[in-house]
Amino acid sequence: MSATRLPGTPRLLRALNDRAALELLLERGPLTRARIGELTGLSKVTASQLVERLEERGLVARVGEQAGGRGPNAQLYAVRPSSAYVVGVDVGAERVVAACADITGAVLGRVEQSTRDTDDPVGVVHNAVVRAASSAGAELSAVRRVVLGTPGLVDPQTGDITFAFNLPRWHSGLLAALREDLDTPVVFENDVNLAAVAEAQSGAARDTADFVLVWVDAGVGLAIVLGGRLHHGSSGAAGEIGYLPVPGVPIPRDVSRRAKPAFQQLAGADAVRAVAAEHGFATPDSAEQGVAAARAAEAVGAAIAAGDAGGPVLDELARRLALGVASTCVVLDPPLVVLAGAVGRAGGAALAERVQQEVAAITLVRPRVVSTGLTEEPILRGALRTALDAVRDEVFGSTVG
């Protein structure tokens, strides 16, 4: 058996070394050949051969020189940004936002497009992706992956979205239509899951392998990260905390209908605004989800600014949110809970600390509860990161012929 594996060993080692060098160039580049050798533990000869191999494949390029001691200046190398591009898309009820990044992660183009005046989701996504790529100076053929963050469930078998009630024109079969239209890999992912990806990358959950993210916005949602990976569940429904049956509100018996689920009735944007209004922090009504979430966040912000007078608002919201957080944590027992979404972000440390205290008071678990560390477009950032991870695996993983 061992004899059959030997011929593949040098090729495998070259592939591993190439990938390690590319990751180093992404994180710490530009670098000289000598520095790549030092950081990877490779000899100067092997490091030089590695760089030549990557340069021939168009993955790295010379970007300058580094003056040294005697002799000629050393060439500096970096990952060639144009070797691949990705597009992330944040799909909302009223608009889509698309951004294009190169393989280094640099975001080069961003566009917004309204969805109010169209019943053609393929056309909306097509236009957004093409415009984002164009604004980044990339041909559509150079876009290696498109990741769309949407509300609802993503079917693990088909990859299509279901139960996206606020996207009534998004239907089964849409994924195949988008892939055919764009002629590139297209992936749907739940929007709250993508927010958790972004939080793990550069937010409050950095360097944390196990955590949950509670999304408090127009509705409520949950993302579960275990061992550094998203947990989707067998049907893709893991984290649909809005459907948690809680006392004190009606519990719908038919989830196929658009009746508001129980925990969402208790802790969604409408409930947040109602609690705030009871204590003198009323905001105008709005039927638009994005506006409703912003108004709820505004009310929470006003309560915090009011000091002691706003304390009862935060206390009641914490009590409600703790029911969902506690129900999750007694099953998963994560060390960290992140409050995100418009309301979670607006509540900041004041709301997070109250939720932490309330969870500790009613359960045996004591997770640390913090507010999101991100301020802008976490769903879009998570979509880009998810796309980049996949494309880097494809591009960097095929460095040896």
Residue 292 lies in a domain: yes
Same domain, 249 and 355: yes
Distance, CA of 24 to CA of 398 (rounded, Å): 17
Q: Tell me the per-residue pLDDT of 49-104, one tens digit each, with 9 for 90 and over.
A: 999 999 999 999 999 888 766 667 888 999 999 999 999 999 988 889 999 999 99
Residue 157 lies in a domain: yes
CATH of the domain at 219: 3.30.420.40
Residue 294 lies in a domain: yes
In this prediction, residue 257 carries a pLDDT of 62
Residue 61 lies in a domain: yes
In this prediction, residue 6 carries a pLDDT of 38
Residue 91 lies in a domain: yes
Q: Across the chain, which distance is largest between two alpha carbons, in Å?
A: 79
For 92, the token pair is 């909302």
Residue that finishes a domain, picked among 52, 79, 106: 79
Q: Give the type of residue at 292.
A: A
Same domain, 182 and 268: no
Same domain, 213 and 322: yes
Residue 69 lies in a domain: yes
Residue 199 lies in a domain: no
Burial category of 71 from C-beta neighbours within 10 Å (exposed 0-12, middle 13-18, buried 19 and up): exposed
Same domain, 92 and 72: no
Q: Give the global pTM.
A: 0.91
Same domain, 155 and 303: no
Burial category of 24 from C-beta neighbours within 10 Å (exposed 0-12, middle 13-18, buried 19 and up): middle
Residue 131's domain comprises 85-193+380-398
Per-residue pLDDT in tens (0 to 9) along the chain, 401 residues: 334 443 446 777 888 888 899 999 999 989 999 999 999 898 989 999 999 999 999 999 999 888 766 667 888 999 999 999 999 999 988 889 999 999 999 999 999 988 877 778 889 999 999 999 999 999 999 999 999 999 988 999 999 888 776 776 777 788 999 999 999 999 999 999 999 999 999 999 999 999 999 999 988 999 999 999 999 999 999 999 999 999 888 888 877 667 788 999 999 999 999 999 999 998 877 666 678 888 999 999 999 999 999 999 999 999 999 999 999 999 999 999 999 999 999 999 999 999 999 999 999 999 999 999 999 999 999 999 999 999 999 988 764 44
Residue that finishes a domain, picked among 35, 52, 79: 79
Q: Tell me the per-residue pLDDT of 184-204, one tens digit each, with 9 for 90 and over.
A: 999 999 999 999 999 999 999
Same domain, 176 and 227: no
Answer yes or no: are the C-beta atoms of 66 and 21 closer than 8 Å: no
Same domain, 210 and 351: yes
Residue 230 lies in a domain: yes
Domains identified in the chain, total number: 3
In this prediction, residue 357 carries a pLDDT of 98
Same domain, 185 and 41: no
Same domain, 232 and 311: yes
CATH of the domain at 21: 1.10.10.10
Three-class SS state of 96: strand
E-strand stretches of 227-320: 229-230
For 358, the token pair is 């309330």
Distance, CA of 205 to CA of 92 (rounded, Å): 24
Same domain, 222 and 368: yes
Same domain, 328 and 385: no
Same domain, 327 and 230: yes
Distance, CA of 55 to CA of 36 (rounded, Å): 14
For 236, the token pair is 């893709």
